[in-house]
Amino acid sequence: MKALLIEDENRAAKHLKNLIGEVAADIEIIAVLQTIEQSIKWFRENAMPDLVFLDIHLADGSAFEIFKEVTIEAPIIFTTAYDEYALKAFGVNSIDYLLKPINKEDLSRALTKMRKLLQAKGPEQYNSTVLQNLIETIERESSYKKSLLVSYKDKLIPVATNDIAYFRTEFKIVKVYTLSNVSYVIDDTLESLSQQLSPNDFFRINRQYIVSRKVVKDIVIWFSGRLLLNLHVTTKEQIFVSRSNSNDFKHWLSG
């Protein structure tokens, strides 16, 4: 099996190449490329390899730019340092990746998964739909806010969405509460915030609250099927999911 390795860090490329030699003797690395430009040129001038190892973040930009210029029909195993949007997209689309620093166990798992997928469907079908879904998911997720400006005394300060526990509105004033239970006023509405925040991470449970997935501790089935949320942070009142949102909320939380 002939494989192409696209990685802009020499040490990382050498490490992965050595690991492949240890766990998959049938895989031959035929070339190591470092940039988008080199990769596009290589695919245009050479026969398609049997497998591609592709780092998402290359020296000259996102590796997904390669797919806009050439069609890659070989199966791809992505390599990446932590990238929250990319990792979500991999989970959604059931495509495999290796998280740096790469180890033998993860490499073996990815190769086993790749071989099984290829037995079930050919490389062209494997890539055409899955890759397009992956790119669309990453682009969509990366368009959502990573931080929001909030009012603090006479200043506006950014608060990372990863640090937000929930939003609460009362008398048309919206406050954001952090994981450390610090609250700030934010000049926005829940309606607008619902459009700016990743629906994978935040859910508007009723007219007063938007909650983060990471703070939901458990759910209590209340009277008449109402859902009472217990959060990992303290709140001023009991928080219920509206009846109209209950089914969607349970589906979201289990997704």
**190-208 pLDDT tens trace:** 999 998 898 888 999 999 9
Answer yes or no: do 105 and 224 share one domain: no
Of 111, 127, 142, the domain-final residue: 142
What mean pLDDT do residues 154-181 have?
92
Q: List the strands of the sheet with 28-33, edge to edge.
A: 28-33, 2-6, 51-55, 76-80, 97-99
pLDDT class for 94, splitting at 50, 70, 90?
very low
DSSP state of 100: S
What mean pLDDT do residues 60-71 have?
86
Answer yes or no: do 179 and 102 share one domain: no
Degrees to nearest 5, angle at CA 103 with 102 and 106:
90
Answer yes or no: do 122 and 227 share one domain: no
What mean pLDDT do residues 95-112 have?
85
Give kind and range of the element (H or E) at residue 146. Answer: none
Answer yes or no: do 202 and 133 share one domain: no
Answer yes or no: do 136 and 151 share one domain: no
Answer yes or no: do 83 and 65 share one domain: yes
Higher pLDDT, 60 or 87: 60
In this structure, what CATH number is given to the domain that contains residue 138? 3.40.50.2300
In this structure, what CATH number is given to the domain that contains residue 159? 2.40.50.1020
Of 109, 125, 142, the domain-final residue: 142
Total of domains in the chain:
2
Distance CA 14, CA 190 (A): 49
Entry pTM? 0.56
Answer yes or no: do 114 and 154 share one domain: no
pLDDT class for 24, splitting at 50, 70, 90?
very high
Question: In this structure, what token pair is assigned to residue 228?
Answer: 């009472």
Answer yes or no: do 213 and 226 share one domain: yes
Q: List the strands of the sheet with 216-221, edge to edge.
A: 216-221, 227-231, 239-241
246-250 LR contacts (CB < 8 Å, sep 24+):
248/203, 249/203, 249/205, 250/219
Answer yes or no: do 9 and 117 share one domain: yes
Answer yes or no: do 116 and 199 share one domain: no
Answer yes or no: do 130 and 151 share one domain: no
Of 117, 142, 167, the domain-final residue: 142
Distance CA 215, CA 220 (A): 15
Share of the chain above pLDDT 70, in %: 84
Query: Residue 137: its pLDDT value, please?
Result: 63
Answer yes or no: do 134 and 18 share one domain: yes
Q: Which domain holds residue 44?
A: 2-142
